Amino acid sequence: MNGISRAGDEHCLVLNTSIYGLDAIKKTAYRFADKASVILQPASENAVSVTFNFVGKHAATNPEQVIGDFCNELLDQDLREIIKRETTPVRNIILAHAFSRTSLVEQE
Amino acid sequence: MLKLSSTIRSLSESTETGTIVRRITDNPNYVPALRSNEYFLNRNGHAVPAGFGGYLFATLPVEAAAPLNSFLLDPEVTFLEHGDVIRITPDRKSLRALYRRNSPHNSFLLTERCNNFCLMCSQPPKPNDDSYIIDQILRTVPLISPETRAIGLTGGEPTLLGSKLIDIVQALKANLPHTAVHMLSNGRNFKDIAFARTLANIQHHDLMIGIPLYSDISSIHDYVVQADGAYDDTIRGIINLKSLGVKVEIRVVIHQATYARLADLARFIRRNLTFVDQVALMGLEMMGFTKFNLEKLWIDPKDYQPQLVEAVEILDQARIRVSIYNHQLCVLDPRLYPFNRKSISDWKNEYMPECDDCTRRQECGGFFSSAKLRYSRYITPFKTAS
Amino acid sequence: MASVFEEAVAYLPKDSSYKLLPFRFIRLDPARYVAVNEVGEWQTLARAELDMLVHKTLPPENPLYLSLKSKHFLEDQDSDVAIDLLTLKRRTKQARIPQFTGLHMFVVTLRCNHSCRYCQVSRQSEDRSAFDMTIPMADKGLDFTFQSPSRAIKIEFQGGEPLLNFDLIKYIVLEAKKRNKTENRKLAFVIATNLSVLSDEILDFCRTHKVMLSTSLDGPEDLHNANRPNVGNNSYQITIDGINKARGALGVDQLSALMTTTSLSLPRVTDIIDEYLRQGFRGIFLRNLSPYGFAIKTKVFDGYSSDEWLNFYRTGLDYILELNKQGLRLTEFFTGLVLGKMLTPYGTGFVNLQSPAGLGISAVIFNYNGEVYPSDEARMKAEMGDKVFCMGNLLTNTYEEMMLSTALLDPLSDSISETVPMCEECAFLPYCGADPDYHYATQGDFVGHKALSGFCRKNMEVFRYIIKKMEDDPEARAILESWVRW
C-alpha cells in the first residue's frame, strides 16, 4: 500500500517492499539525484518511506510530476529485475565465449 | 534450349566395357601418340583418320567398315565440340556431354539425393543410390581443359557424398589449378566442424560454396526447404565454413514465401553474417517442384521490386557484393541494373514473343525456357538502347 | 495426388513459449520505449508491449514478435542458434580491444601563436628548450608506438602549434617510416595545426610522405576570430588561406577541419554549417567542449548546460538532414559514428564512445616533456596541475610500467559501463562509452554519478533523437544510413 504525504518542503511516499523490491527502490532513488534529494528509511516491517526534498536547485521542479515519474520508473525497475533474473545465465555464457581465446566453434 | 544428350547407334564393336567416358576432338591431325585416348568427331564424311580410340559420326561413313568403337550420332546433335567430354551408356544407346569446353557454365550433378525438399526445387530429389556418378566425374576431371574458368558442383545435396565429395574437390584442385569451383549446398552438413575442416584443408585455390538462406526467421526458412531444423544447421554450416576461411555465397530465391521479409533478411545477413563473400538474389525457375507449388510460390517480379530494392541497398551499403540473377531488365527497377547479372546458362535461355523488338535483348538474360509456364505480365520491349 | 509438401503452419514452434535473451530498455518518448539487445540492435515498442514481452505473453501473431525474434531479443522452440550468433556479434563489437592502441599523439611543442579561448595547454613563448619535445623522447615515443600490436597505427602531431617544431615532425615521420619497413603496419600521419605557418617546404614534405592536416574552423569569420584570436592578424583568414593552400598542394581529401563549440557557437549552428559548405567541406563534426584546460583555470569556462548544447546539436542535425533532402550530400560525423554502433556489428574507434574507455588501450599521448598520458584530456588535466592520469615518462619508464600503471588501470577498470550504476542497466550502453577523464574533471572520480553527468545527459538525448529520426522519418533514415562507414 502506498500513499504520498506532505510536510513542508518534504513529500513522503510509502512503498510496500513485498511489491517493490528494495533494490528497485534504491536504484530508482539513485536515478533521481538530479531531480530531488531522496532519502530512504524503513517505515514498518514491509514498508520503506521515500522522502523527496525539493530545495535549492530542485526548488523549481513540479513535485507531483517528479513523484509520478519516480513511480513509473519503479515499475520499469521491476521489469528490469525480471529480465535480469532470466537472462543473466545466458548473458554470462555469451560473454564467456565472446571473450575466450579459443575459437567459438571448438566449443561444440 | 540446347540439348546436351542424344541417342546414338553403335556402328561397330565396342572394345570398352561399362560406361564410356572420353574426350573428343575434331582435329584429324591430332598428335598420333595420343590418339588412342581420344574419340574423333567426324562431322563431314571425309576420310577417317586412323589411330583414335573411338569415332563419332555425324553421317554414315562412306567406308564399308567403320573402325572399332564407332557410333552414329543423332542428326539433331550440334552441341559437340573439340575438347568436350562425353559419356556413353553401357547399352551404347545414349550419349551425353558431361563437359563442354566452350561453355562458361559447366557443372556436375553429384547426386540427386537431398536432405531438404524445397518447395521450388529445380532438381527434385530422388532417394536412389546414384554413387556411380562419382566415378564418372573422377574420370572426367583429368580430361577437362585446363583453361576452364569454372566448374559447378550441384545436386541434390553434394555433401551427402561425404568423403567422396572431398575426393572430387581434391581432384579438381590437383588437375585444374586455375579453375574455380562453385558448389551449391544447403550447408547443413557443415555444422559438423570436422567435415567442414576436411573440405577447408584441401586448400582449394578458388572454392566458393553457394548456400541458400530464405529468411531471417527459422520457421519460414524451414517451411521453404520443408525440413525442420534446417535453418539452424545451415547457419551453423555457414559460420563453420567462414571460420575456416572457405568462401560462402548466400543465395535467396525470391517468391511468395520469401519476398515479404527480404529486407529483414538483408538486415539479418548484414548484422549476423557480415563475413559472407557475396549474396545472390534469384528469380524463380519454373522447373521441378515449382510447377507443383506454383500457386504457393508465384508472385510477379514487378510486384516485389520495392522489397528487392530495399534489400539490395541494405547489403550494398555494407559493401557486401550483391548480384541479381534470372530477372528480365524490363521488370527490374532501374536502380538495380548495376547488380543484375546475365547468367542463365546458355543451354537454358530463351526469349518471349514480346521480346522480339527489344533493343536490350543482348544485355538481358532473357528467360529459362521453362518460363513459358508463367512469366511477368509486364514484359515490355525497350525501344531505344540507353 | 495428396501433397507431399507441408504448409507453413507445420513449421511453426510447437507452442508459443519463448525465452528472453539479454536486453535493456529505456523510455524513448512519451509514447514509446526502446529495447536494445546486448550488441546494440534496437526495437521500439509501447510500454504495454514491453510488459507482455517480459511476462511471456507476447503472441506470435503480433508483428513485433518476428522482429524481436530476428533481432535476438527472444528465442523460441524453433531455433537455438541465437546464442551462437550473439556470441559472434559480441566478439565483433569488442574486436578493437585486442587490436590495442592505434592512435599515438606526439606533442612536439607547447609553443603557439594563437590564444584560443578554450585552449587547454598552449604557451606564448619562444623558449624551445622549455617547451619542445626532444629527439630522445621522440625515439622513445616511437619505441612505445611500435610495441602496440595494432596493424594500423596513426601518429598525430599536437601542440601548441606543432608546425612551430616542424623539424621534429620530419624526424618522427621519417624515423617511423624507416622502422615500418620491418614492422609493416598500416601507418598514417596527421598534423593538428592552425595552418598559420604553412610553408612550401612543409607542404612538400606532407605531400611526399602523405601526411594529412587537420585544422580548426569554428564557423564564420566573426565567430572563428572571437574564439581563436591571433593578435594582429585575422585568424579566420589565415585558416581559409591555409585550407586552400593545403588543398591545392595535397589534395582535398588530405585536409580536414574540426569545429569547437563555445557559448558563442551555440546560437550559430546553421551559420557554422553554412561556413563549412562554403569552404567546400562535405562533412562536419558537431563537437562539444571538454570542461577543462586553460578555460577553467582562467575562469572563462563556457559553462553552458547540456541542454543548450543539445539544442545546438538537434538544430544542426535537422538543418543538415534538410540540406540532404534537397540533394546536397553533407555528413554529420558524430552522428555517423553513433549510427555505426547502432547499425553495424562493429565497434567504434572513436575514443569517447568506448567501454572500456579508450584510455591507453585505444589512444596514448606523449607530452612535450616525455610524460605519457592516456588521452588528450588527461594531458590537459596535468597542465592544470593534476597529474592523476600520468602513466610515466618515456625517458625513465618502460612500456610495461606505463601500460600497467595504476594511473591507467584504475580509471579503465573503475569505469567499465557494465559495472557501473545506471550504465549497467541503461538501454544505450552499447552505444555509449565510459569517460573517466570527463567525470574526474567534473565530479572528482572516474565514474561519476550519471544522473548528474552532462556526458550522460547529452549522449542519452543524442541516442534518443537519432532513434526517433530513424523510426519516424523514412527519408531521414535513408540519409542517416548512408553516413555509416562500413
**CATH code (residue C378):** 3.20.20.70
Same domain, C73 and C157: no
CA–CA gap between residue B186 and residue B280 (Å, rounded): 14
For chain B, how many structural domains are there in total? 2
pLDDT at C233: 85
Q: Which residues contact B41 (CB under 8 A, 6 or more apart)?
A: B24, B25, B26, B56, B58, B80, B81, B82
Asked whether residue B344 is assigned to any structural domain, the reply reads yes
- Domain membership of residue B339 (yes or no) is yes
Of B99, B133, B158, the last residue of a domain is B99
Query: Taking 90 as the threshold, does the pLDDT of residue B312 lie above it?
Result: yes
Query: For strand C283-284 and strand C42-45, is the pairing parallel, antiparallel, or unpaired?
Result: unpaired
Distance CA B211, CA C241 (A): 56
Is residue B279, in this structure, part of any structural domain at all?
Answer: yes
Contact C425 A33 (CB under 8 A): no
Q: How far is C83 from chain A (nearest CA, A)?
A: 7
Same domain, B69 and B131: no
Does residue B26 sit in the same domain as residue B164?
no
Co-location of B231 and B333 in the same domain: yes
Residue C454 lies in a domain: no
Same domain, B49 and B165: no
Residues C284 and C276: beta-carbon distance below 8 Å: yes
CB atoms within 10 A of CB B1: 12
Q: Using a CB-CB distance cutoff of 8 angstroms, which residues of chain C are in contact with residue B231?
A: 79, 81
d(CA C417, CA C354): 9
Task: Find, in chain A, the residue whose alpha carbon is nearest to that of B243.
Answer: A105
Closest chain C residue to A33 measured between Cα atoms?
C451
Residue B351: per-residue pLDDT: 87
CB contact under 8 A, B217 and C66: yes
The nearest alpha carbon in chain C to B275 belongs to C345
Whether B189 is covered by a domain: the verdict is yes
Same domain assignment for residues C271 and C354: yes
Q: How many domains does chain C have?
A: 2
Mean pLDDT of C248-273: 93
The answer to whether B243 contacts A108, with C-beta atoms less than 8 Å apart, is: no
Distance CA C46, CA B2 (A): 59
| Partners of chain C (3+ Cβ pairs below 8 A) | A, B
Chain C positions touching B261 (Cβ under 8 A) are 66
Domain final residue, candidates C93, C121, C140? C93
CB C259 within 8 A of CB C217: yes
Mean pLDDT in residue range C398-427: 96
DSSP string, B229-277: THHHHHHHHHHHHHHTT-EEEEEEE-STTTSTTHHHHHHHHHHH-TT-S
Does residue B385 form part of some domain? Answer: no
Q: Which of these three, C52, C77, C93, is where a domain ends?
A: C93
Residue B49 sits in the same domain as residue B125: no
Question: Does residue B87 contact residue B98 with C-beta atoms inside 8 Å?
Answer: yes
Q: Do A103 and B243 touch (CB under 8 A)?
A: yes
Any domain includes B379: no
pLDDT of residue C229: 80
State the average pLDDT over residues B38-51: 86
Q: CB of C320 within 8 A of CB of C330?
A: yes
The residue whose grid cell reads 602523405 is: C210
Look at residue B65 in the predicted model and tell me its pLDDT.
77
Answer whether B239 touches A (CB < 8 Å). Answer: yes
pLDDT at C301 over 80: no
Neighboring chains of A (3 or more beta-carbon pairs < 8 A): B, C
**For A38-42, B265-269, C139-143, which range has the lowest pLDDT when averaged over its residues?**
A38-42
Choosing from C403, C418, C445, the residue where a domain stops is C403
Q: What amino acid is encoded at C36 in this protein?
A: V
B378 is a domain residue: no
Q: Are residues C300 and C356 in the same domain?
A: yes
- Residue B43, in any domain of the structure: yes
Give the distance from residue C267's alpha carbon to the nearest chain A alpha carbon, in angstroms: 25
Nearest to C22 among A31, A91, A97 (CB): A91
Residues C21, C73 contacting (CB under 8 angstroms): yes
- Subunit contact B217:C84, Cβ cutoff 8 A: no
Rg (CA), chain B: 23
Inspect the interface and report whether the beta carbons of A104 and B193 lie closer than 8 Å. Answer: no
Same domain, B129 and B272: yes
CB contact under 8 A, B239 and A108: no
Task: Kindly state whether B347 is in contact with chain C, defined as any CB-CB distance less than 8 angstroms.
Answer: no
Nearest to B279 by CA among B247, B304, B255, B301: B247
Confidence category of residue B79, pLDDT binned at 50, 70, 90: confident
Fill in the amino acid letter for B111.
T
What domain range is C81 assigned to?
Answer: 27-93
Q: How confident is the model at residue A34 (pLDDT cuts 50, 70, 90)?
A: confident
Residue B38 sits in the same domain as residue B127: no
Question: Binning pLDDT at 50, 70 and 90, where does residue C434 land?
Answer: very high
CA distance C81 to chain B (A): 6
Residue type (1 letter), C386: D
Is there a single domain that holds both residue B40 and residue B133? no
Q: Is B272 on the interface with C (CB under 8 A)?
A: yes
Q: What is the pLDDT of residue C294?
A: 40
C443 versus A7: the higher-pLDDT residue is C443
- Which CATH number belongs to the domain containing residue B90 in this structure? 3.50.30.60
Q: How many CB atoms lie within 10 A of CB B283?
A: 25
Residues C191, C72 share a domain: no
Q: Which residues contact C242 (CB under 8 A, 6 or more apart)?
A: C193, C194, C195, C196, C198, C215
Mark whether C254 and C389 lie in a shared domain. yes
Average pLDDT, chain C: 92
Find the mean pLDDT for residues B220-226: 98
Please report the number of interchain residue pairs, chain B to chain C, with beta-carbon separation below 8 angstroms: 71
Could you tell me what percent of chain A has a pLDDT over 90? 54
CA dihedral B274, C76, C71, B247 (to 10 degrees): 10
The answer on C124 and C64 residing in a single domain is no
pLDDT surpasses 90 at B347: no
Note the helical H segments in C8-152.
47-54, 63-70, 82-93, 96-99, 128-131, 135-147
Question: Are the beta carbons of B193 and A106 separated by less than 8 Å?
Answer: yes
How far apart are alpha carbons A83 and B27 in whole angstroms? Answer: 76
Q: What's the CA gap between B291 and C155, in Å, rounded?
A: 63
Contacts of A89 (CB under 8 A, 6+ apart): none
B375 in contact with C, Cβ within 8 Å = no
Tell me, yes or no, whether C298 and C239 share the same domain. Answer: yes
Query: CA angle C60-C64-C65, nearest 5°?
Result: 30
Say yes or no: C87 and C111 in one domain. no
Residue, of A79 and C231, whose pLDDT is higher: A79
Burial-class residue C83 by CB neighbours within 10 Å (0-12, 13-18, 19+): middle
Inside any domain, residue C197: yes
Which residue carries 570436422 as its cell? B194
Q: Are residues B57 and B206 in the same domain?
A: no
Do B159 and B60 share a domain, yes or no?
no
Q: Does the distance separating the beta carbons of C13 and B318 come in below 8 Å?
A: no
* Contact status, residue C359 vs residue C103, Cβ threshold 8 Å: no
> What pLDDT, on a 0 to 100 scale, did the predictor assign at position C289?
65
**Are B302 and B270 contained in the same domain?**
yes
The dihedrals phi and psi of B258, each to the nearest 5 degrees, come to -120, -15
Lowest mean pLDDT segment, chosen from A39-53, B244-258, C166-180, C199-213? A39-53
A104:B240 CB<8 A: no
d(CA C160, CA C129): 14
CATH number for position B142: 3.20.20.70
Judged by CB atoms closer than 8 Å, whether chains meet at C482 and B257 is answered as no
Q: How far apart are CA C348 and CA C337, in angstroms?
A: 7
What's the domain range around B142? 106-373
Backbone angles phi, psi at A15, to 5 degrees: -120, 140
Predicted confidence at residue B354, as pLDDT, reads: 87
What three-state secondary structure class fits C154?
strand
Task: Map out the domains of chain A with their CATH numbers.
Answer: 4-107 (3.30.1360)
Mean pLDDT value of segment C123-145: 88
Question: Is the CB of residue B276 less than 8 Å from the CB of residue B266?
Answer: no
Question: What are the angstrom distances between the C-alpha of C242 and each of C109, C170, C239, C277, C393?
Answer: 20, 20, 5, 17, 35
User: Which of B74, B99, B124 lies at the terminal end of a domain, its last residue?
Assistant: B99
In a domain, C190, yes or no: yes
Residues of chain A contacting C54 with CB distance shorter than 8 Å: 79, 82-83
Which other chains touch chain B, taking contact as 3+ CB pairs less than 8 Å apart?
A, C
Cβ of B240 and A105 within 8 Å?
A: yes
Q: Is the pLDDT assigned to residue C120 strictly greater than 70? A: no
Q: CB of A102 within 8 Å of any CB in chain B?
A: no
Nearest to C8 among B223, B270, B272 (CB): B223
Residue C222 lies in a domain: yes
Residue C293 has pLDDT above 90, yes or no: no
Q: Which three cell numbers stand for residue C124?
A: 606564448
CB–CB of A93 and C55 under 8 A? no
Question: What pLDDT score was predicted for residue B345?
Answer: 60
Concatenating the DSSP letter of every residue in B293-359 gives: THHHH---GGGGHHHHHHHHHHHHHTT-EEEEES--GGGS-GGGGGGB---S-TTTEE--GGGTT-T
C127 shares a domain with C62: no
For residue B386, what pLDDT band results from cuts at 50, 70 and 90?
Answer: low
Interface confidence, given as ipTM, is: 0.93
Please determine, for residue C215, whether its predicted confidence score (pLDDT) is greater than 70. yes
Please list every residue in chain A whose beta carbon sits closer than 8 Å to the beta carbon of residue B243.
103-105
pLDDT tens string B106-138: 999 999 999 999 999 999 999 999 999 999 999
Domain-terminating residue out of B99, B115, B138:
B99
User: Do C118 and C68 share a structural domain?
Assistant: no
Same domain, C76 and C112: no
CA distance B56 to B48: 11
**Does the N-terminal peptide bond of residue C356 adopt cis geometry, omega within 30 degrees of 0?**
yes
**Residue of B214, B215, B219 to mutate when probing chain C, most C C-beta within 10 A:** B219
B239 contacts in chain A (CB < 8 Å): 104-105
- Is C474 a domain residue? no
A103, closest residue in chain C (CA to CA):
C88
Same domain, C190 and C335: yes
Give the 3-state secondary structure percentages of chain C, helix then strand then coil, rounded to 5: 45, 15, 40
pLDDT over 60 at C302, yes or no? no
Q: Give the whole-angstrom CA distance, residue C75 versus residue B168.
A: 39
Residue A104 confidence (pLDDT): 45
B54 cis-preceded (ω within 30 degrees of 0): no
Do B76 and B219 share a domain, yes or no?
Answer: no
